[in-house]
Structure 1
Amino acid sequence: MKKVVITGSNGLLGQKLVKLFLSKSTYEIHALSRGENRLHNKEGYTYYNIDLLVKPDLLKVLDQIRPDVIIHTAAMTNVDACEQQQEECDRMNIDVVANILSYCKAKEVYLVHLSTDFIFDGTKGDVYKEDDVPHPVNYYGLSKWKSEIMIEESKIDCAILRTILVYGLVDDNDRSNIVLWVKNSLENEKDIYVVTDQLRMPTYAEDLAEACWLAVESRANGVYNVSSNELMSIYDIALTIADAFVLDKKYIHPVATKDLSLPAERPLSTGFNLNKSIVDINLPSYSFTERLQVFKGQLDSGLLS
């Protein structure tokens, strides 16, 4: 039975991963996160309350577990906070990765590392392939690109999964995402201002978790794109959410990115070419519209996987 460590297990993807791997019979699961375990189901795996920034504590836990696989989801992902708190961003998105890397290299542990479309500047005029040259326009993207470089230079056995605008819902998670933000705002008749000039391919959290599992199962090596297959403006994404949940679109107002005056610059168009992932790891291909209906069905039924 393979021992799998999942970092950031209290987060959206982390919880989905714990639940997915619990459904498989060939894995022993060890969930690492800071604070109290937020998963309602606390059976069938071991939870560790740990600050990954404390290297001795991290290495002690890993030595205790002796994992075969580490899936590293923990990161500082608030783009504006990363821009304003660059030292903290470096510690979480670069230093922690370096510590995990050194352990994986010494113990020959397979790593799945999560990265982002924000390593690109969004000016290509087409969807990005895995071998396109990164050029981040904000500090968050830069930190994630630096971590990718470290991983590639380490030559360890590893899959880097880049993803875009992840959404979903899990147990006791107080962080919002694009779907919940739009849905909750419209339900409360709150005006929202949504950019028309940023294009994305939103990723359902269950699909990203499955991609991680597929990478582990095939012991894939290299960089893989994971997202939906439908490139849409964030404004059109908001309209699609309103339609799916039958909510009034009059509260959705179009705005240009430049008019928001955000601390961190955003890339404009960051869609992915998914061909490599479809072929190499058998990644299923879905549109945002169809996966949104699945998510709605889960919300309506109260059954979240």
Structure 2
Amino acid sequence: MSKKVLITGSNGLLGQKLLDKLRNNPEYLVIATAKGADRYRETGYVYESLDITNQVEVESVMLKHRPDHLIHTAAMTNVDACEAERELCKKLNVDAVQYFIDACKQTNSHFIHLSTDFIFDGANGPYDEEASPNPLSYYGQTKLESEELLKDSEIDYAILRTIIVFGVVKDMSRSNIVLWAKAALEKGQNINVVNDQYRNPTLAEDLADACILAMEKRVKGIFNASGKDFMSILEIVERIADFWKLDKSLINPISADTLNQPAKRPVKTGFVLDKSIKELGYSPRSFEEGLMIVDEQLSLIK
């Protein structure tokens, strides 16, 4: 018997990588969902248009398909937009999670939920799964609230926390730090890059693998699922420049304070991956290995 897996946010970067790996796999019957039309447009899965802020739609789709596993990738992730549009952010990042929890109670689905390093204040990263959250932004606050909803529920859940996800979507409709920096430097543009924030950038394929491992083992609890290389945002961009042999003199290091961004960002996050490596079998690639995969995929699009 094939197991049913329902993916939210299937038009997004992580959603598309999950479809790359799971569609046409005889072990899984995949239901892809996103708001509006299917932008992935391939075979080997069922597509349902779904507005996750509509409780009736969520319940209807979940009861129709009764998935063994739900991988919830859909969220509002633009940190400054979340600060400005708090009502919408709460609907997408908190209320929707409650709707899926309520549905999972009826379908007995295993809920795999994506969370973020922005639940931490960045005062003493890198963090393990036991570290105490203290979000600085409304985005981080909503993602922490969604985690708490799952912890307070009685359903089977796994929370996967991640950091700065990068990769290539088929229609090139989504950008991320790697694609942005590469494109700007190739055009000879000067770019300002923060030199006093530290992260573990995450290849989307690695994060998809973590989701699939969590699903296959039907694990419960919290797991860190980021890249393994810890560095400043500036170093991320410098390593992108080095990889594609671009002009690093175009990179202008700046302090985060000079940006005057609406939402506060944590200074130093990063994750300790020991638990995920041991319990999930998670094995993230190096940053340069991730860039090689991005390079290969970009060459196929051109």
Q: TM-score range by the shorter chain?
A: over 0.9
> How far did 1:54 drift?
1.3
> How far did 1:289 drift?
2.4
Q: Deviations over 1:227-254 (max 9, x none)?
A: 1111110011001001111111121110
Alpha-carbon distance between aligned partners in 1 of 2:237 and 2:85, rounded to the nearest angstrom: 29
Matches within 5 A, 1:83-232: 83-124=83-124, 126-232=125-231
Larger deviation, residues 285-294 vs 107-116: 285-294
Whether contact under 8 Å (2:5, 2:30) holds in the other structure is yes
Are 2:296 and 1:297 equivalent residues in the alignment?
yes
Runs of 4 or more above 6 Å deviation: none
In the alignment, what sits opposite 1:32? 33
> How far did 1:291 drift?
1.9
Amino acid at match of 2:127: Y
Whether contact under 8 Å (1:31, 1:45) holds in the other structure is yes
Larger deviation, residues 47-56 vs 271-280: 47-56
Whether contact under 8 Å (2:193, 2:234) holds in the other structure is yes
Amino acid at match of 2:215: V
In the alignment, what sits opposite 2:235? 236
Whether contact under 8 Å (1:218, 1:281) holds in the other structure is yes
Alpha-carbon distance between aligned partners in 1 of 2:5 and 2:231, rounded to the nearest angstrom: 35
Whether contact under 8 Å (1:115, 1:144) holds in the other structure is yes
> Matched residue of 1:31: which SS?
strand
Aligned length: 301
Alpha-carbon distance between aligned partners in 1 of 2:194 and 2:205, rounded to the nearest angstrom: 26
Are 2:8 and 1:3 equivalent residues in the alignment?
no
Matches within 5 A, 1:34-113: 34-41=35-42, 43-113=43-113
Alpha-carbon distance between aligned partners in 1 of 2:248 and 2:285, rounded to the nearest angstrom: 25
Any gaps of 5 or more consecutive residues in structure 1? none
Whether contact under 8 Å (1:12, 1:205) holds in the other structure is yes
Q: Deviations over 1:98-132 (max 9, x none)?
A: 000011123211010000000000001x4100010
Whether contact under 8 Å (1:11, 1:173) holds in the other structure is no
Amino acid at match of 2:165: V
Amino acid at match of 2:146: S
Percent sequence identity is 47
> How far did 1:260 drift?
0.4
Whether contact under 8 Å (2:122, 2:269) holds in the other structure is yes
> How far did 1:302 drift?
4.4
Amino acid at match of 2:244: F
Alpha-carbon distance between aligned partners in 2 of 1:75 and 1:263, rounded to the nearest angstrom: 19
